[in-house]
Amino acid sequence: MYVLPEKAEGHMSDIAVQVDNVHKSYVLGPVAVPALRGVDLTVQKGEFVAIMGPSGCGKTTLLNLIGALDLPSRGSIYVDGVDIGSLSDNRLSDLRRDRIGFVFQSYNLVPVLTAAENAAYVLELKGVGAAERRQKIHALFERMGLAQYLDSRPLKMSGGQQQRVAVARAIASEPAVVLADEPTANLDQATGGALMDLMRELNRERGVTFVFSTHDPMVLSRADRVVRLVDGAVVSDGPETN
């Protein structure tokens, strides 16, 4: 089993995510198409940050880079003080497992597993024993209003319930940051609002750092900061004022 490098000390110790002059281009035939153009972003631990912008502006690309699902063409990204660009493929996998939680708009739950088994999957990968996994997930489901769904299969649950399980899975291992790509996109307004309120409560109660993409004003209104992307570049970064 690979061991990740120690976290950087000093000023990086309070930073969950640091993005420095990041560029990303995709080669389509003979043409390189830029998706991100010199993005700078700092997310402090415990923040609740939204990334917004029109379709194709680079929101998902940026989240994928922060989540070590892809690498930048140029620039540096640090997650919990670790330079993603310095890691081998195996250590990138360890970073994703140990320090990053993911919430996808399509839920990405395993249909043959129960809700509890889905939520405990990362803990199992990390070698947490069965009894400790059970205790953690039961307590987490109780807090998130999911206690009655421990043994339910995803396909028997509503979209909102599945997304709550996805959030539980993302935070169960206490990662440095949770990345959520359009987490309310497949939910109605009331269910999406309830999910965001829950995520906000987990942020405040447990200090979970969230970075999420969205174009929904309801979601944006709950953010500490809104980072606006246009054509792959940050055009504003600050409190939501609408």
Taking the domains of the chain in order of start, what are their residue ranges?
10-108+174-238
Statement: 10-108+174-238 belongs to CATH 3.30.1330.60: no
Name the nearest CA neighbour of 96 among 207, 22, 4: 4
Q: Residues 59, 97, 142, CA angle at the centre, nearest 5°? A: 90
pLDDT at 10: 43
Q: How far is CA 107 from CA 80, 139, 165, 220, in A?
A: 25, 21, 8, 20
Per-residue pLDDT tens for 88-109?
Answer: 999 999 999 999 999 988 899 9
User: What is the rounded radius of gyration, in angstroms, for the C-alpha atoms of the chain?
Assistant: 18
Q: Which amino acid is at 34?
A: P
Name the nearest CA neighbour of 42 among 242, 231, 225: 225
What 3-state class would DSSP assign to 120?
Answer: helix
pLDDT at 5: 41
Which residues neighbour 192 within 8 Å (Cβ) at sequence distance 6 or greater?
160, 183, 184, 216, 218, 219
Which residues neighbour 175 within 8 Å (Cβ) at sequence distance 6 or greater?
98, 99, 100, 101
Which residues neighbour 107 within 8 Å (Cβ) at sequence distance 6 or greater?
154, 159, 162, 163, 165, 166, 186
pLDDT at 89: 93
pLDDT at 12: 61
Q: Where are the alpha helices (DSSP H) in the chain?
A: 59-66, 89-99, 115-125, 130-143, 159-172, 189-206, 217-220
pLDDT at 219: 87
Distance of CA 42 to the CA centre of its chain: 15
Q: How far is CA 191 from CA 157, 173, 219, in A?
A: 13, 25, 12
What are the residue ranges in the chain where pLDDT is below 70?
Answer: 1-12, 240-242
